Amino acid sequence: MKLIVDENIAFAKEAFLGFGNLRLLNGRSITNTEVKDADVIIVRSITQVDEKLLKNSKVKFIGTTTIGTDHIDLEYLENNNIKFADAKGCNADSVAEYVFTALLKVVSEEQLSLGGKTIGVVGVGNIGSKVVRLAESFGMKVLKNDPPLERKSIGKNYVPLDEILKADIITLHVPLTLEGVDKTHHLLNKENFKKIKSEALIINTARGAAIDNDALLKESSVRNFKLILDVWEDEPSINIRLLKETKVGTAHIAGYSLEGKVNGTKMIYDSFCKYYNREPAWKPELPKIEQTDLRIPEGKTDEEKLYKLFFSIYDIEKDDSQLRNITTCKQNRQAAYFDKLRKEYPVRREFNNYNIRLSNNETHFKPILESFRFKVKSD
């Protein structure tokens, strides 16, 4: 059996080496020539899997260690009897932690309170549902929009997109769908930007093209939107002018916690073993964290205290500044730099690894911290 696996998939070698001839390749170098005699391909979102890639190959199993499938031609795979597996939900906690770390950064800098603010969550699947729960723990008013789930009567209290656009904060957690009744391509666009209030905070950790980036740049400069963008149209060739308008800008790494990456690999590994009737044997072992006991730092507001706590675990400011360094690259090297940031991304751990000890006057933090999966103890 010949397997071709993206070299940037966590634990790729450890998970798949024992099944045959394993080739690790850069995801952008996985081409039709490379896969001609492959049986298995395991990719990330940067590899387009379609007829162009698979024509005249003998591939029978394709896995993506990502939650999105817009890079996969699912109809082609079904028509050609090719088994497909994805990793939906693998990095949901990582993305949710990113959203609130970025959000707390912005509001603490402006000494704003999240309590009482209205947040519109577009897409209430694996990630969006976590964002809803976390927002509620802050006492925020939550508006939800998810037409596919609403039609299936999964969940309740949904509102139309126009209602979401009135919120103080809008965060997108949708797949990229190019057409049809649930089209999300340019879901936010020059027409409905007019319905968003000035100085609203817009977050996109879903897919870059869910927002018309050119229209966002034009409207944001007039309406003073506060932007938190982790994803961009035309990655890895991003809009540098739009980056300069952001409060937080990062290189599509919201879901890049070590746990999120490993979960993705394990989910595809298990699907692979099931398809080929192999007994799963690989169990990932994550490195031990030396300092797991933390306290709430000092700060002027609760939001600032929480941001400092989150920042002590996840340095989002470093991710932001490293992407901004793209402006020092020559234009023809900027795309490669964007990819490099993702390929060489440092180890980031999720919040459930940490214990927080609270003093008597800090007990009001307990429900918020527990909603983020911290282990909370009191003095």
CATH assignment at residue 232:
3.40.50.720
Q: Is residue 286 part of a domain?
A: no
pLDDT (average), residues 279-283 = 95
Token pair belonging to 355: 């214990």
Beta bridge partner(s), residue 21: 2
Residues of the chain with pLDDT > 70: what percent? 100
Shared domain for 137 and 221, answered yes or no, is yes
Mean pLDDT of the chain: 97
C-alpha dihedral sign at 267, 268, 274, 279: negative
Q: Is residue 124 part of a domain?
A: yes
The active-site residue, picked from 207, 342, 348, 349, is 207
Shared domain for 96 and 81, answered yes or no, is no
User: Which structural domain range is residue 366 located in?
Assistant: 293-378
The residue type at 183: K
Told to judge if 150 belongs to the known catalytic residues of this protein, a careful annotator would answer: no
What does the alpha-carbon distance between residue 267 and residue 285 come to, in Å, rounded to a whole number? Answer: 15
Shared domain for 300 and 264, answered yes or no, is no
Shared domain for 45 and 194, answered yes or no, is no
Q: Is residue 162 part of a domain?
A: yes
Shared domain for 98 and 27, answered yes or no, is no
- Looking at 240, 275, 310, which one is the last position of a domain? 275
What does the alpha-carbon distance between residue 250 and residue 306 come to, in Å, rounded to a whole number? Answer: 21
Which tens digits make up the pLDDT trace of 64-120?
Answer: 999 989 999 999 999 999 999 999 999 999 999 999 999 999 999 999 999 999 999
Return all residues near 285 (Cβ < 8 A) that are at least 6 apart.
none
Q: Is residue 227 part of a domain?
A: yes
pLDDT (average), residues 1-30 = 95
Q: Is residue 281 part of a domain?
A: no
Beta bridge partner(s), residue 229: 204, 249
Q: Is residue 283 part of a domain?
A: no
166 near 83, Cβ under 8 Å? Answer: no
Q: Is residue 280 part of a domain?
A: no
Shared domain for 55 and 79, answered yes or no, is yes
pLDDT of residue 41: 98
Please state the domain count of the chain.
3
User: pLDDT at residue 123 above 90?
Assistant: yes
Shared domain for 243 and 96, answered yes or no, is yes
Beta bridge partner(s), residue 6: 25
Q: Is 277 exposed, middle or buried (0-12, 13-18, 19+ CB in 10 A)?
A: exposed
The active-site residue, picked from 173, 186, 252, 348, is 252
The active-site residue, picked from 235, 259, 350, 362, is 235
pLDDT (average), residues 246-269 = 97
Told to judge if 207 belongs to the known catalytic residues of this protein, a careful annotator would answer: yes
Shared domain for 352 and 301, answered yes or no, is yes
CATH code of the domain covering residue 371:
3.30.1370.170
Shared domain for 9 and 133, answered yes or no, is no
Which tens digits make up the pLDDT trace of 136-181?
Answer: 999 999 999 999 999 999 999 999 999 999 999 999 999 999 999 9
Q: How confident is the model at residue 379 (pLDDT cuts 50, 70, 90)?
A: confident
106 near 247, Cβ under 8 Å? Answer: yes
**Residue holding tokens 């996840």?**
314
What does the alpha-carbon distance between residue 184 and residue 189 come to, in Å, rounded to a whole number? Answer: 11
Told to judge if 252 belongs to the known catalytic residues of this protein, a careful annotator would answer: yes
What does the alpha-carbon distance between residue 16 and residue 157 come to, in Å, rounded to a whole number? Answer: 44
**Residue holding tokens 């379609």?**
50
Shared domain for 334 and 271, answered yes or no, is no
Which tens digits make up the pLDDT trace of 344-367?
Answer: 999 999 999 999 999 999 999 999
Which tens digits make up the pLDDT trace of 188-209?
Answer: 999 999 999 999 999 999 999 9
Q: Is residue 285 part of a domain?
A: no
Q: How confident is the model at residue 267 (pLDDT cuts 50, 70, 90)?
A: very high
Shared domain for 181 and 230, answered yes or no, is yes
What does the alpha-carbon distance between residue 127 and residue 2 come to, in Å, rounded to a whole number? Answer: 34
Shared domain for 119 and 232, answered yes or no, is yes
How would you list the strands of the sheet with 21-25, edge to edge?
Answer: 21-25, 2-6, 40-43, 61-64, 83-85
